[in-house]
């Protein structure tokens, strides 16, 4: 089952077996395959987008063409898709913040089996005003939860504050309870983590990423909520960080149990970066008032190789 969502986190992938190629247009549909094009509405493009999904719910291609711009004014939720391709080449403009959205899980939530998303489309989050190509997200960009065998490639993110306040909590990607994930060949401008590898994650590769103005390539923070957090087999290679707060970092909280193992940071080029390497076992301990607690997660078999700049 695949679920895709956009809201408090811009894009959310749950229970996925999915390939994301965000800068490549979907190939022409196979001969005879049903194609459902989302049209523009006079009132709210949410209506016509949902209609296109309903028309191709049992199989076919849902198309958001390159020449179209969609202004959505309400939350989109589409369920029970089966064997559906999504050709997202157009532009979706999310609404300005409105209290009516409070408590909603996503602007756009899609669930089903064998759902394939591809395209060179743009999501404009209007983030500056309310605090795949994603511009001005108001919180994290991509969240992956309960996912398996997912590739993110040629993703472009650009969230930069135009005011006096920094863009906060705008992680490029956060991974939780997932395995066999690949991030590659992408450009990220964010105000927080370039990656955040969180609890219950194994077998992740991050390669060919250029990150600007972020907090670096991170594992964690781990150890929240009195649970046993674990992360293993994480590989960062051939990445760049420009004007970042950190280069590579592992962060765990004190007083908790868990394990971080088999991590390799290799060939990461840093430019104007404050902390090239940081391993923190008492992350936010001042706030949690437990800096004197010697217990934290175990960290083992970590290789740091050719972190330069």
Phi, psi at 304, each rounded to 5°? -120, 110
Q: Which residues pair with 217 in a beta bridge?
A: 195, 248
**CB distance 194 to 188 below 8 Å:** yes
Residue labelled with tokens 């007083």: 255
- Reported as half-sphere exposure (CB side, CA atoms, 13 A), residue 155 has a value of 26
Residue 74 near residue 108, CB atoms below 8 Å: no
Instruction: Give the DSSP H/E element, type plus range, for residue 108.
Output: strand 106-118
Place of tokens 């970092």: 249
Residues 6 or more apart in contact with residue 102 via CB below 8 angstroms: none
Q: Please give the DSSP secondary-structure letter assigned to residue 50.
A: H
Rounded to an integer, what distance in angstroms lies between the CA atom of residue 97 and that of residue 127?
8
Rounded distance, CA 87 to CA 61, Å?
7
Bridge partners, residue 177, by sequence: none
Catalytic residues: 192, 215
Which of 255, 145, 250 lies closest to 200, judged by CA? Answer: 145
**What DSSP letter does each residue of 204-268 carry, written as one string?**
EEEEEEEEESS--EEEEEE--TTS-EEEEEEEEEEEEEES-SEEEEEEE-TT--EEEEEEEEEEE
Distance CA 73, CA 191 (A): 26
């Amino acid at each position: 089952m695949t679920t895709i969502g956009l809201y408090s986190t811009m894009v959310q992938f749950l229970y996925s077996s999915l390939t994301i190629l965000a800068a490549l247009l979907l190939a022409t549909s196979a001969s005879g395959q049903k194609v459902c094009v989302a049209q523009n509405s006079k009132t709210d493009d949410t209506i016509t987008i949902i209609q296109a999904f309903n028309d191709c719910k049992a199989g076919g291609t849902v198309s958001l063409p390159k020449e179209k711009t969609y202004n959505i004014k309400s939350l989109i939720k589409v369920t029970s898709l089966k064997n559906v391709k999504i050709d997202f080449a157009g532009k979706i403009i999310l609404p300005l913040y409105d209290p009516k959205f409070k408590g909603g899980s996503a602007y756009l939530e899609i669930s089903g089996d064998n759902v394939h998303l591809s395209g060179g489309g743009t999501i404009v989050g209007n983030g500056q005003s309310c605090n795949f190509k994603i511009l001005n997200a108001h919180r994290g960009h991509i969240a992956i939860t309960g996912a398996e065998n997912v590739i993110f490639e040629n993703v472009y993110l650009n969230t930069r504050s135009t005011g006096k306040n920094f863009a906060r909590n705008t992680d490029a990607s956060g991974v939780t309870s997932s395995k066999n994930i690949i991030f590659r060949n992408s450009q990220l401008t964010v105000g927080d983590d370039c990656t955040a590898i969180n609890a219950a994650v194994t077998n992740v590769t991050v390669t060919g990423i250029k990150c600007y103005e972020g907090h670096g390539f991170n594992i964690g923070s781990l150890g929240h909520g009195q649970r046993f957090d674990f992360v293993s087999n994480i590989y960062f290679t051939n990445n760049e960080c420009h004007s970042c707060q950190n280069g590579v970092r592992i962060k765990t909280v004190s007083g908790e149990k868990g394990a971080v193992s088999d991590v390799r940071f290799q060939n990461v080029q840093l430019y104007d970066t404050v902390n090239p390497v940081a391993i923190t076992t008492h992350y936010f301990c001042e706030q949690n008032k437990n800096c004197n607690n010697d217990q934290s997660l175990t960290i083992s078999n970590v290789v740091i190789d050719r972190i330069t700049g």
